[in-house]
Amino acid sequence: MSAACLVSLRFADGVEQRVDVAAGHGVLEAALAAGAPVLNQCRSGSCGSCMARLVGGDARMRPGVASSLLPSEQAQGQRLLCLTEAVSDCAFEFAYDSRAGAGGPAKASAFIDTIERIAPDAVRLKLELAEGDWIDFRPGQFVELTVPGTDARRRYSMASSPAALPVIELLVRLLPGGVMSDYLRDRARVDDVIALTGPYGGFFLRDKVKAPHIMIAGGTGLAPMMSMLDAIRARPGARPNVLLSFGCATPEGLFNLDELDLRSHWMPGLATRISVDSGAAGAAWRIGNPVAAITADDARDPASVAYLCGPPGMVRAAREHLEGLGLDPANIHAEQFVASE
Ligand code: FES
């Protein structure tokens, strides 16, 4: 009979919980059964919510199962606990404190306030939570929406900060033939009711960090950065300097430039760099990608923290670039957008 492995789960606030994981059983499954506050959502390796760093012992992710974890993240010890089995007694560290996952996700209904086409392939969707419903979240996290009239569910990061609740703003990329995209293009009306659950995700603004922040966003990956910027602006006392590098494929695809401009006026410590892959150069943007727009000078403070959100290729390139510039991998937080439509 093979013995269970003892797995230590260590949270950023010093809370530690130990759970027994039977041979062949998943670490996340055992952790949740024991009541450990581990963030999770899809339980299939795609959302990245359950990421933790292996800091002792041996644990392996199930071979042959596709996951959103980058090879460089795995090489640094990161694991997705929903796909991980303990091979020996082992320990994991979480980049968030034990309170982050303590409440668990809530269910809510929301009404559509506004639907605004902000680029040929992007929509700003404003929802208002129904009276009596509430979803607390940290800037950077996401919710899961059920597309009205279907069973399909889609995840979107909040572009608004928790201070705007009960209003939640989302930026949705329109995809040809996508279930949510077709609904928003063809059928959605103000006051439609949408079911949502959340919050989810370990990608959120860390509290009390005074070091410079570098944010790199591709397309609707800008959403969680907007939420974080508004939360930083609302903080009392000294705020960190923030450099936001945002990019889209073409000038026509850009959006939220006025909103970013406003925030630059409100936040003297905010600098923005806008890039497009191709098209005509403009006064407000450069030709190139948002990763290359970050220079060695931008990353000269080795304590800088970075937030990356966009397609997997951009996130991978941004992580490599920032690590090459000397940022501590532990200070680089990332969320990949994987199209599900
Ligand atoms: S819960 Fe593990 S990747 Fe989504």
Tens of pLDDT, residues 19-57: 999 877 899 999 999 999 999 988 888 888 899 999 999
Whether the predicted pLDDT of 186 surpasses 80: yes
Instruction: Check residue 48 and give its pLDDT.
Output: 84
**Omega cis (within 30) before 312:** no
84 lines ligand 1 (CB under 6 A): no
Ligand 1 closest atom vs CA 42: 4
Residue nearest to atom 3 of ligand 1 (CA): 45
Is residue 139 within 8 Å of 202, Cβ to Cβ?
A: no
Classify each residue of 107-131 as buried b or exposed e, where b means 16 or more C-beta atoms within 10 Å of its C-beta: ebebbbeebeebbebbbbbbbbbee
Confidence of residue 103 (pLDDT cuts 50, 70, 90): confident
| Residue 280 CB neighbours (<10 A) | 9
**pLDDT per residue as tens digits for the range 236-254:** 888 999 999 999 999 999 9
Q: 199 alpha carbon to ligand 1 midpoint, in Å?
A: 13
Pocket test for ligand 1, best of 39, 41, 96 (most atoms within 8 A of CB): 41
50 lines ligand 1 (CB under 6 A): yes
Q: Which CATH class is domain 213-336?
A: alpha beta
Ligand 1 closest atom vs CA 40: 1
Ligand 1 closest atom vs CA 47: 4
Instruction: Check residue 65 and give its pLDDT.
Output: 80
Residues 278, 250: Cα–Cα separation, whole Å: 6
CATH topology (fold) of 106-200? Elongation Factor Tu (Ef-tu); domain 3 (2.40.30)
77 Cβ neighbours under 8 A, 6+ residues apart: 53, 54, 55
Pocket test for ligand 1, best of 43, 69, 155 (most atoms within 8 A of CB): 43
78 lines ligand 1 (CB under 6 A): no
336 lines ligand 1 (CB under 6 A): no
Q: 234 alpha carbon to ligand 1 midpoint, in Å?
A: 31
Share of the chain above pLDDT 90, in %: 79
Confidence of residue 128 (pLDDT cuts 50, 70, 90): very high
100 lines ligand 1 (CB under 6 A): no
Residues 218, 247: Cα–Cα separation, whole Å: 5
Architecture of the domain delimited by 5-93: Roll (3.10)
Instruction: Check residue 238 and give its pLDDT.
Output: 87
Residues 288, 178: Cα–Cα separation, whole Å: 28
48 lines ligand 1 (CB under 6 A): yes
Instruction: Check residue 2 and give its pLDDT.
Output: 58
Question: Region 105-132: what's the mean pLDDT?
Answer: 97
In which residue ranges of the chain is CATH 3.40.50.80 found?
A: 213-336
Residues 104, 81: Cα–Cα separation, whole Å: 17
Around 75, how many Cα atoms within 13 Å sit in the side-chain half-sphere? 6
Question: Region 135-139: what's the mean pLDDT?
Answer: 94
pTM for this structure?
Answer: 0.88
Confidence of residue 1 (pLDDT cuts 50, 70, 90): very low
DSSP 187: I
32 lines ligand 1 (CB under 6 A): no
45 lines ligand 1 (CB under 6 A): yes
41 lines ligand 1 (CB under 6 A): yes
Whether the predicted pLDDT of 340 surpasses 70: no
Is residue 288 within 8 Å of 279, Cβ to Cβ?
A: no
Candidates 189, 221, 217; CA nearest to 113 is 189
In which residue ranges of the chain is CATH 3.10.20.30 found?
A: 5-93
For residue 192, give both structure tokens.
């439609």
Q: What is the dihedral of CA 280, 281, 285, 291, to 10 degrees?
A: 90
In which residue ranges of the chain is CATH 2.40.30.10 found?
A: 106-200
Q: What is the dihedral of CA 18, 73, 39, 91, to 10 degrees?
A: 0
Q: How far is C-alpha 59 from the chain's CA centre?
A: 25
Residues 253, 251: Cα–Cα separation, whole Å: 5
Task: Report CA-CA distances (Å) from 259 to 128, 160, 309, 311.
Answer: 20, 12, 18, 22
